[in-house]
Structure formats: structure tokens, C-alpha cells
Amino acid sequence: MYMLYSKSSEYVVRALVYLAMKDNADFIMVKEISEHTEIPQPFLSKIFQDISRAKWITSKKGKNGGVKLAVNPAKLKLLDVISYFDGMQDYSRCMFGHKECGVSSKCALHNKCSDLKNEIYDFLNSTTIADFTSIWKKENKVSLKELKIF
């Protein structure tokens, strides 16, 4: 079957949403982010190394250290985040693994699946980290544990 995103992508979206909710006030400790997002701290540290290379966050070591967002969350699309961690999905590939589907013939569900894949792509390409932040604030949640992003 068709996989939309990995656990790494899910974690990175949660972490970026949390940072966006903090409105870039101060550097936030990884431990705090881990607690509020339910992402294991060692895994979160690794994720932050990766997204630091993408220049999505900035980090600071030391007593008042931590991480904060380095980009406007309204410009950070889900498609970019997921593609960074999982690679660009082949949205032309048959969801049922038929190699010839769409090339020389079409499987029974080709048109229906094609519409779905286009909708998924459009959603990921038009939804930003800021969109999730708005939803979180609108629902007045205390932590990301309560907001099911995916």
C-alpha cells in the first residue's frame, strides 16, 4: 500500500509546530520540546541536527541554549518537510504497485487513486506549519499531545 510519510516526518512536523507556537521568543530547550510533543529526546536531538542543516532552525549551546525557528512558519510547507526527510514521493506511481499502471494500461482503481494522490499532493503543498499552529491555538490545547496532527 501507499505510505504518505515516515515517523521522522511526523516528529519533525510536531517539533516545528511547537517551535512556531512559541513565536520565536527565546531558545527552547530540547527537553521541553520533547515533553510537550512526546518525541523521545535522543531522536529529537537528531532531528534538530538534520533540520538545522536545512536552516529551518537555529540553535544555541549553553545555559540559556536550545533551539528556535529560523524561518517563517507560513512559508514552510508540509510537502517540503516530508520531502526533506522521506524524499519526494512519486505521485504517478500506482498505489497498488502495478508497474504498468498509467503507462500502457490502467488498474481498475487508477482514476480514483489518481484523484486521491492529487488531493494529497495539493494538501501537502498548500498546508504550512503556520496552518497547524492556527488550528492548535483555535482549539485552545495545552500541549501537542492533545492535538492530533496526523
Domain boundaries, the chain: 7-87+128-139
Q: Distance (Å, rounded) from C-alpha 95 to C-alpha 62?
A: 48
pLDDT of residue 120: 84
pTM: 0.80
The pLDDT tens digits of the residues spanning 82-126 come to: 989 887 766 667 777 777 776 677 777 777 777 887 888 899 999
Whether 44 contacts 8, CB under 8 Å: no
Q: Is the pLDDT of residue 2 over 50?
A: no
Q: Architecture of 7-87+128-139 per CATH?
A: Orthogonal Bundle (1.10)
Grid cell 519526494 in the structure block, residue: 88
Bigger pLDDT: 114 vs 31:
31
The conformation of residue 62, written as its DSSP 8-state character, comes to: S
Would you tell me how many other CB atoms lie within 10 Å of the CB of residue 107?
A: 16
Confidence class of residue 143 from pLDDT cuts 50, 70 and 90? Answer: low
Work out the burial of residue 137: count CB atoms within 10 Å of its CB; fewer than 13 is exposed, 13-18 middle, 19 or more buried: exposed
